[in-house]
C-alpha cells in the first residue's frame, strides 16, 4: 500500500471513525436494571484441578480451502474436520488421555456447479460421504419439522424437506458455500464423535438457527439431527463461542468482579425464551440465547475473556433444570478440561480438534499441487491461472 499514515487528513478520519464506533457500542449498553438483574444470577465455582467422576468428552472442529480448484463456474472445495475424544483421568499426571477411534478425521472434496443438478448433487454426495445419510434420514432422525413449524412463520411437513426446497446460494457465491460446507463438516464430525458416548460434545460454534421457521437450511437440519441424536444418548452438545456476541458483555464481567468479587470462575445464565423467560431488552434483536437454546456467559480464568456457552434447551431441562449443583458441575468439568498448557483457559478437546483439522499453508499448497497434477494429466486445466500472481512471480510459470 502506498499510503501516508501520518497525513493530517487520515488522523482526522481515524478519530471520527473511532467516535462513531464508540457511539455504536454505547447505543446498545445494557440498562442498569438489566445488568443488575443479570449479575444477581452470578454463580461462582471452584477452580477444578480434580473432578469427582471421570467422563468422556469430545471436541470437533473443521477447516478447508474454499475453493481449492476452479474452472469456469465449477468449483471444487476441500474440507477437513476432526474429532478429538478424551477420557479424563484425574489420578494420572496427564489428566486427560486421548481415545483413538476410527473415523475421527474427515477430508472431503466437494464439486459444486450451477449447471443442472450440480449443486444439489455435490451436497448429496458430501452428506453421504460424511455421515452416510440423506435428507430423509436427517429429517426422520430429528425434530426439525416440528421445531421449524413451531419457531417460524412457516410450517413444513416432512415431505417438504427436499433438496429442491433447501436454501442454497449459487455455486459462484463461494463465501456462502465455504461457511455451509465447513459447518456441515463439523456437525457431521460431531455425529461421528457421538459413537464414543461422550458426556459432552464440544462445538466451536454457537447453536443458533438463523433460518429456522423461514427456510430449510442444511446446516440447521444437521444441527437438529446431531442434537436429537445426542439428547437421546444423554450427551450434552455444548456450543462454545469465544466471541459471545453480547453487547457490552465485558460490563457484565467487570461488574461481576467489582461488585460481586468474582474475578474468575463464574457463570451467568441468560434468560431464555426457550424456557419461557423474557429476553433482556438489550438482547432483543440478537440470537442470544438462540432459538431452542440456553446461553451462559462464563469466565474460567482471570486472564481469559468471558465466553458464551450454548446448550440445547431440552438437554438443559433434562440435566440441569432445578439442580444448581448439576449446573455448577457442568462448569467445573468444563474448567477441568481447560488446564492443558497448550490452551490454558480453553477446553483442550476443542483445541486438539482444531490442531488436527487446521491446515498449514504448506499443507494447503500440497493438496492443491496434487489436484493440479491430476487435473493437468486429465487435460482439464488451461494455463497457469490456478496459481496466484505472487506464486507465478516467485517460481516462474
Question: For the window 185-214, what string marks contact with other proteins as x by the rule CB under 8 A?
Answer: ------------------------------
Instruction: Select the residue interacting with other proteins from 84, 183, 205, 295 (CB under 8 A).
Output: 84
Among residues 86, 148, 225, 266, the one that binds other proteins under rule CB under 8 A: 86
Interacting span for other proteins (CB under 8 A) from 84-92, 161-169, 254-262, 272-280: 84-92
289 upstream amide cis, omega within 30 of 0: yes
* Burial of residue 106, with CB atoms counted within 10 A of its CB: 0-12 exposed, 13-18 middle, 19 or more buried: buried
CA atoms of 158 and 152, how far apart (whole Å) = 16
Pairing of strands 56-71, 74-88: antiparallel
Residue whose CB is less far from other proteins, 47 or 154:
47
DSSP 137: H
Residue list 276-315, contact with other proteins (CB under 8 A): 301
For cell 444439489, what's the residue?
120
Q: Which of 15, 33, 46, 49 is in the footprint of other proteins by CB under 8 A?
A: 49
Q: 227: Cβ–Cβ under 8 A, 6 or more apart, which residues?
A: 142, 207, 237, 312, 314, 315
CA distance 69 to 66: 8
Binders of other proteins in range 97-116 (CB under 8 A): 97-98
Helix, strand or coil, per DSSP, at residue 312? strand
Asked if 56 is part of the footprint of other proteins (rule: CB under 8 A), the reply reads no
Give the residue, chosen from 199, 355, 365, 387, that forms a contact with other proteins under the rule CB under 8 A: 355
Helix, strand, or coil here: 54? coil
* Candidate residues 241, 320, 352, 367; the one interacting with other proteins per rule CB under 8 A: 352
In angstroms, the CA 346 to CA 339 distance is 8
Q: Is residue 96 a contact residue for other proteins (CB under 8 A)? A: yes
The least CB distance from residue 100 to other proteins, in Å, is 8
Bridge partners of 181, per DSSP, are: none
Give the residue with the Cβ less far from other proteins, 79 or 351: 351
Q: Which residues pair with 6 in a beta bridge?
A: none
Residue 78 interacts with other proteins (CB under 8 A): yes or no: no
Count of residues for the chain? 397
| Per CB under 8 A, 362 contacts other proteins | no
**342 makes contact with other proteins (CB under 8 A):** yes
Q: Which residues make up the interface to other proteins (CB under 8 A)? A: 47, 49, 84, 86, 92-98, 301, 339-342, 344, 348, 352, 355
Amino acid at each position: 500500500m502506498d499510503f501516508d499514515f501520518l497525513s493530517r487528513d487520515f488522523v482526522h478520519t481515524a478519530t471520527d471513525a473511532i467516535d462513531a464506533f464508540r457511539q455504536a457500542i454505547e447505543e446498545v449498553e445494557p440498562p442498569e436494571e438489566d445488568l443488575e438483574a443479570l449479575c444477581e444470577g452470578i454463580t461462582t465455582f471452584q477452580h477444578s484441578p480434580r473432578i469427582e467422576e471421570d467422563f468422556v468428552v469430545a471436541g470437533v472442529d473443521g477447516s478447508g480451502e474454499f475453493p481449492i480448484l476452479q474452472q469456469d463456474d465449477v468449483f471444487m472445495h476441500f474440507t477437513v474436520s476432526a474429532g478429538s475424544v478424551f477420557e479424563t483421568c484425574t489420578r494420572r499426571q496427564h489428566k486427560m488421555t486421548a481415545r483413538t477411534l476410527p473415523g475421527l478425521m474427515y477430508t472431503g472434496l466437494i464439486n459444486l456447479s450451477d449447471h443442472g443438478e450440480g449443486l444439489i448433487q455435490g451436497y448429496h454426495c458430501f452428506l453421504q460421504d460424511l455421515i452416510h445419510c440423506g435428507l430423509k434420514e436427517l429429517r426422520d432422525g430429528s425434530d426439525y419439522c416440528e421445531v421449524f413449524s413451531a419457531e417460524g412463520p412457516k410450517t413444513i411437513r416432512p415431505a417438504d424437506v427436499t433438496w429442491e426446497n433447501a436454501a442454497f446460494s449459487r455455486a459462484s457465491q463461494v463465501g456462502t458455500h465455504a461457511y455451509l460446507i465447513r459447518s456441515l463438516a463439523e456437525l457431521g464430525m460431531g455425529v461421528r464423535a457421538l459413537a464414543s458416548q461422550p458426556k459432552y460434545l464440544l462445538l466451536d460454534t454457537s447453536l443458533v438457527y438463523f433460518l429456522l421457521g423461514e427456510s430449510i437450511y442444511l446446516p440447521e437440519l444437521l444441527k437438529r439431527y446431531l442434537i436429537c441424536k445426542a439428547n437421546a444418548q444423554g450427551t450434552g452438545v455444548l456450543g462454545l463461542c469465544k466471541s459471545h456476541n453480547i453487547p457490552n458483555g465485558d460490563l457484565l464481567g467487570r461488574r461481576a468482579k467489582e461488585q460481586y468479587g468474582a474475578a474468575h470462575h463464574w457463570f451467568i445464565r441468560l434468560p431464555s425464551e426457550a424456557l419461557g423467560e423474557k429476553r433482556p431488552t438489550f438482547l432483543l434483536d440478537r440470537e442470544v440465547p438462540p432459538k431452542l437454546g440456553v446461553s451462559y456467559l462464563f469466565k474460567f480464568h482471570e486472564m481469559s475473556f468471558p465466553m458464551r456457552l450454548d446448550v440445547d434447551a431440552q438437554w438443559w431441562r433434562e440435566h440441569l433444570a432445578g439442580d444448581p449443583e448439576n449446573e455448577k458441575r457442568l462448569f467445573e468439568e468444563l474448567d477441568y478440561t481447560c488446564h492443558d498448557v497448550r490452551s490454558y483457559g480453553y477446553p483442550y478437546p476443542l483445541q486438539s480438534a482444531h490442531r488436527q483439522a487446521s491446515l498449514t499453508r504448506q499443507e494447503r499448497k500440497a493438496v492443491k499441487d496434487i489436484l493440479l497434477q491430476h487435473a493437468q494429466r486429465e487435460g482439464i486445466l488451461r494455463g497457469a491461472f490456478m496459481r496466484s500472481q505472487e506464486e507465478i512471480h516467485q517460481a516462474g510459470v
